[in-house]
Amino acid sequence: MSLSQWRIDSSHASRAARTADSAAYSPPGFSNVGQTVQHHVEAEQSSDQQEHLMKKRAWDVAMGPGKSLPMNMFMMYMAGRSISIFPIMMVAMMLWRPLKALFSVNSTFKPLEHESTGSLLPHKLVFLLGNCGVVALAIYKIHTMGLLPNYDSDWLEFVPEARRIQYTLVGDLFV
């Protein structure tokens, strides 16, 4: 089923709803009549529009994560730098969601695959980049919270004791 069968047109819908003789009860916005009639009439025009819509939608999906970045930034700003359960939960969710999304790029774009939309590769790339951006933001947040072991001090306890080359006798000196 393609999107072209769905159209909410108030004039048509009201008319169709009033006609009791319709063969089937169609949900609002679904028009058999329109399809049969208009398909032929607006065939070329609708396929153009559908293609346009498909592309738009694909771009919407692809841009989704990128668009959520400012909102996420604001949220993270509001969460503060203190290490307590809520900020940590928020940051974890923020990290986890895009990571999950990164592993399901193909399945996200599956419903949008159509010959009319053409190659979805740029979309996927943008989607990927957006998610990466969110991950980066989350990691930055973790960094500002001081949870990222990126300082020398974080690895200090793993520095082994230096082995001594020479030995000195340090016992008491007697008179």
Partner 1 sequence: MKIHLLLAGLAIGASALYEDQVGKFDWRQQYVGCPTQVQIDRRGKLDRYIVSTAENVVASLSMNTGDIVWRKVQEDVGNKELKHPLVFSGQKNVICSLSESGKMVRLWAKRDGGFVGQQLLGTVESSHAPFVTTTADTCLVLSHNRAIALSLKDASKLWEVELRKSDWVAARAFDGGFAIVGGLKENNEVHVKWVDTKGMQTLNKILDVNSFNPQKVAFTGSHLVGFWDSTVYALNILSDGPDIKIEAKGVEETVFETFALTSENFVAIRTKSRVHILDVIKGFSKVFSLPSEAEAVSEYVNKEGKRFLASVHGNRLSLYHVDGDKELLKDVVFDSELKRAPAKQLIIGGGDKEWEFLVIGADCRTDHVVADITVKKAALEWTREEGLTRIGSVELLDLPLSESQAAIETEFAVDEKNILASFAHRIFSQLDQFKKLIARSADMALELALNMKQMKSGSFSDLLNSVRQSARKSHSGGQPLERDVFNLRKLIVATSLGGSIYALDNQDGAVVWRRYIGADIQGFETIEGKTKIPILVQRTTAFYNFDAQIVVAYKRNGIGHLLFLNPVNGKEVDHQTVDNARRIDLLPFVDGDHLHHVITVDRTNQVSIYPKLSADAIEKAPPVHLFDVNGVNGKVTGYKLDLTTNRLTETWAHQLPHWEDSTVVAIAGKPASERTHSQGRVLADRSVLYKYVNPNLIAVGLLAKSAPQLNIHLFDSVTGQIVHSARLPKVTAPVYMVHCENWVAYAYWTEKGRRTEIGILELFEGDEQQHVETFDSEEPLKRPLHVEQASFIFSQGISSMAVTETEQGASNRAILVSLPFGNIFEVNRRILDPLRPMELTPEMREEGGFIPYMPEIPIATEEMLNYNQTVHHVNGIKTAPSGLESTSLVFVYGLDLFYTRATPSGNFDVLKDDFDHILICIVLAALFIGSYVCRKLARNKALQQQWA
Residues lying near partner 1 in the complex (CB under 8 A): 81, 146, 151-154, 156-157, 159-175
Q: At closest approach, how far in Å is the CB of 87 from partner 1?
A: 14
Q: How far is the CB of 149 from partner 1 (least distance, A)?
A: 10
Bin 94: left if φ > 0, else alpha if -120 < ψ < 50, else beta: alpha
Instruction: Decide whether 83 or 136 has the Cβ nearer to partner 1.
Output: 83
Q: Which of residues 27 and 149 has its CB atom nearest to partner 1 in the complex?
A: 149
- 80 phi/psi in degrees, rounded to 5: 85, 175
Structure tokens at 165: 């080359």
Using the minimum distance from each CB to partner 1, give the nearer residue, 25 or 167: 167
Distances (CA, A) of 30 to 1, 9, 34, 47: 12, 9, 8, 17
Residue number with CB closer to partner 1 (40 or 163): 163
Q: Minimal distance in Å, beta carbon 94 to partner 1?
A: 22
Closest approach of partner 1 to the CB of residue 158, in Å: 10
Q: Which is nearer to partner 1, 21 or 152 (CB)?
A: 152
Q: Is 83 in contact with 35 (CB distance < 8 Å)? A: no
Smallest gap from residue 62 Cβ to partner 1 (A): 38
Distance CA 45, CA 38 (A): 10
- Phi then psi for residue 6, to 5 deg, are -105, 125
What is the spatial distance between Cα 131 and Cα 133, in angstroms, rounded to a whole number? Answer: 5
Per the CB < 8 A criterion, the answer to whether 79 and 86 are in contact is yes
